[in-house]
Amino acid sequence: MRRIIRWEAQMQADGISWQQIIDWLTTPLFTIGKSSLSIASIVGLVVLVVLFWWGAQVIESTLRKFASKTPRLSESTGSVYAWARILRYIIWIAGTFAALSYIGIDLTGLAIVGGAIGVGVGLGLQSIVANFVSGIILLLEKSLKVGDFVELESGVRGHVREISLRFTRITTNDDVDILVPNNEFTQARLVNWTYSGHKQRLHIPFGVAYGSDKDKVKAAGLRAAKRVQGVLDEPGRDADVWLVEFGDSSLNFELVLWVGPDLVARPGRTKAMLLWAIEDELGKEGLEIPFPQRDLHVRSGSLEVSLKQNESPKPNEAPETK
């Protein structure tokens, strides 16, 4: 309080009044169309935009935290994320219009701006607009949710961590974040491994030598499946061993089993663990995993083989001495 009194006394000593400060803050600096902008209006504009953007982020994060702590909503985290993100965008748009209205810009004139944007889209903003529209579609359709394990046509595979207006962030099993444009999800083939659930059936191929006991092969495969934690053992999803092919050098089998969410999201590691267990169990049964073999048949008849040894050059003879 004392500082304010001293500051006001200093202003009076310098001949500065509050009215002069107000006049200085409200003096137009430049105009946009029919709207004049002053320091006060610019400061108000910035404050208004910051409040709307900050408020949108706070509301989104609050909704997501509330959903994670509410048992009834925790199972639909992806839907809550989608609607919270859409609400955030709506608040942003409302804040933009409010800020423009605050500084006196006629919103009916935005039709001209819309026409300019349309020209810009035709000249090179197609990809940006396509990503924006695709992001809205992904959020509304719920075909892709945060937490899903997906595989793109380009080969990218990982968990969906964020869906924004322009891109979707995917984190691979190697903990690498990949930013994928949204239109790639709507224009190309997408495999969502967890779209309808978190269970998946796997086919693990392996082969044994001809003449092996098939019952022993099946028992070894089933024991291998039980060794891996996360393999499901429930009615209708029992593990099984199929004889699928008579190969050139082996009887080819497949270990067919169902896995839960932990293994669905780790396909490479899952296959490695199962193959490791299969090899161990086959070895315990004394079953051989063959390598490719070829038989060579020689027709009967005479076969002449001639070997010619190259003669080494004779050493130079020493000259005769007389």
Question: What CATH number is given to the structural domain containing 216?
Answer: 3.30.70.100
289 within 8 A of 249, measured Cβ to Cβ: no
The answer to whether residue 123 sits within a structural domain is no
One domain for residues 59 and 26: yes
Q: What is the pLDDT of residues 80-109, one digit of tens each?
A: 777 777 788 888 888 888 877 777 766 665
Q: What is the pLDDT of residues 12-48, one digit of tens each?
A: 666 666 666 666 666 776 676 666 777 777 888 888 8
In one letter, which amino acid is 67?
A
One domain for residues 273 and 210: yes
Asked if residue 70 has pLDDT above 80, the reply is no
The answer to whether residue 122 sits within a structural domain is no
Q: Is 0.75 topped by the overall pTM?
A: no
Q: Which two tokens stand for residue 134?
A: 């695709």
The answer to whether residue 243 sits within a structural domain is yes
One domain for residues 151 and 220: no
In one letter, which amino acid is 71?
P
The answer to whether residue 110 sits within a structural domain is no
The answer to whether residue 113 sits within a structural domain is no
One domain for residues 174 and 213: no
48 within 8 A of 102, measured Cβ to Cβ: yes
| Bridge partner residues of 253 (DSSP) | 206, 243
Domain count across the chain: 3
**Domain around 177:** 144-192
One domain for residues 227 and 265: yes
Rounded Cα distance, 284 and 216, in Å: 10
pLDDT score recorded for residue 198: 76
Torsion of Cα atoms, 18 then 23 then 25 then 28, to 10°: 180
The answer to whether residue 321 sits within a structural domain is no
| Bridge partner residues of 255 (DSSP) | 204, 241
Rounded Cα distance, 208 and 249, in Å: 9
The answer to whether residue 310 sits within a structural domain is no
One domain for residues 9 and 85: yes
**Pairing status of strand 190-192 against strand 149-152:** antiparallel
Q: What is the pLDDT of residues 213-234, one digit of tens each?
A: 999 999 999 999 999 998 998 8
Rounded Cα distance, 194 and 260, in Å: 10
The answer to whether residue 16 sits within a structural domain is yes
One domain for residues 101 and 82: yes
Q: Where are the beta strands (DSSP E) in 101-218?
A: 149-152, 157-163, 167-171, 177-181, 190-192, 200-208
One domain for residues 13 and 37: yes
pLDDT score recorded for residue 228: 93
Q: Where are the alpha helices (DSSP H) in 122-266?
A: 126-141, 183-187, 214-227, 261-264
